[in-house]
Amino acid sequence: MPIAILIHSPLWLLSPTLFLTVSIYGILFVVIHNMLHRHPAFAKRYFWWHWNHHMRNQNKSWGVVLPLTDIITGTLEDNRVKVKK
């Protein structure tokens, strides 16, 4: 992770806000992605788009933190799994 932040450090000269946003998103990506793989029931219920990416169709639903990128690019596969309570 520190290497990714270092590689993106020239963004600081362009826009400190952009650099901080990219850095925070990268950190959230790593933390959330690791958490989802350690707690699959939580992932299945609250991050269904990521669950679908791994369990149904790996060519769709690439977003981890938010499905926003998938909505924009048209790759969101909205076939939520019914979770038993």
pTM as predicted: 0.67
Question: Are residues 45 and 78 located together in one domain of the fold?
Answer: yes
Domain that holds residue 27: 1-38
69: amino acid identity, one letter: T
45-81 pLDDT, tens digit per residue, is 898 888 888 888 888 888 888 888 888 988 888 765 5
Distance CA 43, CA 32 (A): 10
2-17 pLDDT, tens digit per residue, is 777 777 778 778 888 8
Question: Are residues 11 and 24 located together in one domain of the fold?
Answer: yes
Question: Are residues 33 and 50 located together in one domain of the fold?
Answer: no
Question: Are residues 45 and 83 located together in one domain of the fold?
Answer: yes
